[in-house]
Structure 1
Amino acid sequence: MKMKLSLISAAILSTSLLLSPVASYAKLPVAVNGQQLPTLAPMLEQITPGVVSIQVSGSKEVRRRADPLEYFFGNPQPRSQKRQFSGLGSGVIIDADEGYVVTNNHVIQDAEKMVVTLEDGREYEATKIGSDTESDIALLQIEADDLVEVKLANSDSLRVGDFAVAIGNPFGLSHTVTSGIVSALGRSGLNIEGYEDFIQTDAAINQGNSGGALVNLNGELIGINTAILGASGGNVGIGFAIPSNMMKNLVDQIIEHGEVRRGSLGISGRPLDAGLAKAQQLDVKQGAYVMQVMDDTAASKAGIKAGDVITSINGSDISGFHELRSKIATLGEGREVKLGIYRDGKVKTVEVTLDGASGVTATGEELHPAFQGAELENVQKNSNKGVEVTSVDPRSPSARVGLEEGDVIMQVNRQRVETIRDMNKIIESTQGNIVLGVKRGRESIFILIQ
């Protein structure tokens, strides 16, 4: 079961921890035959002041199930109530002069008050500069002197097997350090976030580590810890971090625009696998196979064609379409990128200026809660335009209402739609039920959303 690192309430943190008696161990030598033993201590002494604890509090509306007896006795109660909440997470200082602290969006979501605690015990109330739900990144700011920032590494240079160190606030135990290796790169399709390109690590990550630092042995930030895989919510040796390059692209957009403005190529595609490569007689092993290029988009203007295989972005290899989509989106609107394209047995470089993604691709929940778990994309098939459902999480609301991968939405409430923007405009003006006209293969069906 995949889950986000949940916020830890003050009530949970106040419960007693059962501590085992500490055994008396023989003192370990600091050197053997005159050679200093390896240690992470000097590096950690330099950077742990750059990792902070974040305490949040606020209130949010919670809908409750109606009790039929209330209506029977003529005393119905409000269906929604405000409830107070509190929680803890972690954060990383990335700019000491400006007081910028990066964390996960789910750490501070709905928070009315955010307090950042430094390693030396100083506390500051933070201001939110901006956040992005789909990539789970948030940027805070504090006004404080003598801050220590964590330098950023180039996460594109990471290799599987590189050592990794996690620093954070698990279970309220501030500045806890664990270590491991980079277990995998470019993890996606986990349905944890809308845009996924995770670093996987076996460094122990637990509840409260959200927003904390994943660093290399030089003390440079390689990722922001964000999620774990496990039914219990505790560490099972599989944790995920947002790469530092991806985080920096998102934060730069938040600083400049106050929001994330995603980039888009204007293509649909799929991962290149062995079967597809053999069928198409392609002499490449991995990449993003281009199935369609939309008219008047960044891809069409750059000369990208259906049947091309995109193998790299700015010189860095990509494993598949999900990684391409995430990296293009986070690079941002207007960015110039160099794509490696495999065509007719040769690889060439194509320069592309990215479009804005608004109205080209979207996650379902951006349009309506019932579409959560679906990914949508403008599509043009045989001169017919519509909104294609490119993926559906089988356990999501979108699956429960009846959407399937490959569906093309042609109508909303009997009004013709050609783009996500058309669809969103109609949904926003609708108060009641929504009826989708969907093309599924050769069939046309209607889906009712109440």
Structure 2
Amino acid sequence: MTATTTGTDRTSPVSSRTSRTSAELIRAEEPVLAHNYHPLPVVVAAAEGAWVEDVEGHRMLDMLSGYSALNFGHRHPALIEAAHRQLDRLTLTSRAFHNDRLAEFAERLTTLVGQDMMLPMNTGAEAVESAIKVARKWAYEVKGVPADRATVVVASDNFHGRTTTIVGFSTDETARTGFGPFTPGFRIVPYNDLEALAAALDETTAAVLIEPIQGEAGVVIPDDGYLTGVRELTRRAGCLFIADEIQSGLGRTGRTLAVDHEGVVPDLVLLGKALGGGIIPVSAVTGSREVLGVLGPGEHGSTFGGNPLAAAVGTAVVGLLETGVFQRRAAGAGTVLRDGLTDLVGRGVLGFRARGLWAGVDIDPAIGTGREISELLMARGILVKDTHGSTIRLAPPLTITDEELRTAVGTLGDVLTRG
């Protein structure tokens, strides 16, 4: 199976079949893997472009793309080539030394997202934790907040990761219960509510941390003007605006960043998932020199953050986005997705929210839960994942073709009407 720049063909990858079936492999995991996700009962063994193949050789269209980590599809040739080249030269130095790939990565990424500096990390949660540390230090050193009194304002129904600090300000009880005591210093306000946000800001506020579009909550898109309002309120309050673009950024919504839809420039932008091209975990905190410049040598670190392999792959990802091809593709294909979903409203779909190639689809609970619908789609060769209740998320690779999108939405319609 050979991926083109923006699409995929339908030839099969190298045989993925093994001596054990999917059921046998899933059973083998149970005694040795601790629970985290609740995966669908499919065992993927090979993939290319927008398609995956399980161990029995069944081909399925990937409409989740690793929660946006695979924006460019599985094994995009330019990204695989960049990884191979770097694997033959140098993979890791740690930040104890400089490496010859990091400067270019930092220069091109900051230019792409309109910021001055970047702090390279690995996972999205690590980027969020790093941004919280930076915001607090900035509050003490620049804003003049008294020691240990800095607060960060977040939104209800947020999803920023799974660390103990982050779940401490989650409103999802499944994420919180049993993991306390939690880190103090956070205030939670309703999402998409500028009045509530304004009331929560005071002289101790270091930052407002929000997702421009809430992914885990079901692709919740705020009202037009909300992000502009957040930017204005944070300016007035003399605090930072931190945009978590880990899922929404890097082309997913039809722009490089979701905040670009309102022309807003946050103080810090958090990136991850797609930044690693589906090959290696790569994340980054990007921001202004005035903010990221508060960090001094030895005050923060990450053994693998900014490693040569990550920098090489990340630079190749930036190279794909610098062309604008993928942003335009997401915007154009997003119209196809929205049109297809609109036709399903009233026919098993109660409603949906979509921007670019990202949609949260609310299924009529009388038909099934999100999990049940996901399993029915899996049986028909379409991979999606449920979120809350009867909501499913659609986030296909930006390389998907219009024909493949129509196939996926058509199959959803068949499942909703025929079971």
Class of the TM-score when normalised by the shorter of the 2 chains: under 0.3
Query: As a proportion of its length, which structure holds more strand?
Result: 1
* TM-score, with length taken from structure 2: 0.26
Query: As a proportion of its length, which structure holds more helix?
Result: 2
**Greater relative CO (CA pairs within 8 A, separation 6+):** 2
